[in-house]
Amino acid sequence: QKEVEQNSGPLSVPEGAIASLNCTYSDRVSQSFFWYRQYSGKSPELIMSIYSNGDKEDGRFTAQLNKASQYVSLLIRDSQPSDSATYLCAVRSGGFKTIFGAGTRLFVKA
Amino acid sequence: SAVISQKPSRDICQRGTSLTIQCQVDSQVTMMFWYRQQPGQSLTLIATANQGSEATYESGFVIDKFPISRPNLTFSTLTVSNMSPEDSSIYLCSAPTGQNNEQFFGPGTRLTVL
């Protein structure tokens, strides 16, 4: 059974701080990794994808991948109250089927 | 990425009835996925809709309860049959429309069964 594990939270950070969201996965042959943001009552929105070890930066977001440790993370710099949402980690091993984690709720306090 | 739309956006239905949800993608895609998300829960994959062949259902989901059509490469429907209050959920359509086949989601259908 392929699994993607996330801490459900809530993770609470003050405005302007760095929020760190973590995810582990069980399938060693996983090739593609994604972070989605989901606001309450809305559908998931893709915010980052990463395919090779290391860091990938996009604005205030940085995705980090360590395949040896089967670990992927998302850093949000200068967190804003508008970043308050549930963040879903997703992993694809091959083909098109993507496995989603249960999500981490982030709360940014103004 | 392509635009994915769903109809209806929400509905309130009586138990024992059926509802068909439509999903339209503005480009051709090989696969379309149907998910269910119950309040406060994560995504649960119901089935993969394949064009020209039967849908592939995940464990716990059966064709009699969730029949799926995929008449072409841009459209799919999911029917929730003989509904009960336990079927109240958000139903999401998704497709790999990104440059690297990243999955994108439609806006969802919020279903309430009374």
Q: Considering chain B, what percentage of its residues have pLDDT values greater than 90?
A: 83
Shortest alpha-carbon distance between residue A16 and chain B (Å): 27
Q: Report the pLDDT value the prediction gives residue A29, as an integer from 0 to 100.
A: 87
Average pLDDT, chain A: 94
Q: What is the mean pLDDT of residues A98-110?
A: 94
Q: Report the pLDDT value the prediction gives residue A2, as an integer from 0 to 100.
A: 72
Which uninterrupted H or E stretch holds B43?
A: none
**Burial profile A31-68: b = 16 or more Cβ within 10 angstroms, e = fewer:** ebbbbbbbeeeebbebbbbbeeeeeeeeeebbbbbeee
Please report residues of B whose CB lies closer than 8 A to that of A96: 30-31, 48, 96, 101, 103
**Is the per-residue pLDDT at B101 higher than 90?**
no
Find the chain B residues whose C-beta atoms sit closer than 8 A to any C-beta of A: 1, 30-31, 41-43, 45, 48, 90, 92, 96, 98, 100-108
Q: Report the pLDDT value the prediction gives residue A8, as an integer from 0 to 100.
A: 86
Contact between chains at B102 and A49 (C-beta distance less than 8 A): yes
Q: Report the pLDDT value the prediction gives residue B4, as an integer from 0 to 100.
A: 96
For residues A100 and A33, the answer to whether their CB atoms sit within 8 Å is: no
B54-89 residue pLDDT tens: 899 999 999 999 999 999 999 999 999 999 999 999
Contact between chains at A42 and B107 (C-beta distance less than 8 A): yes
Q: Report the pLDDT value the prediction gives residue B2, as an integer from 0 to 100.
A: 81
**Is the per-residue pLDDT at A90 higher than 90?**
yes
Q: Considering chain A, what percentage of its residues have pLDDT values greater than 90?
A: 83
Q: Report the pLDDT value the prediction gives residue A23, as an integer from 0 to 100.
A: 96
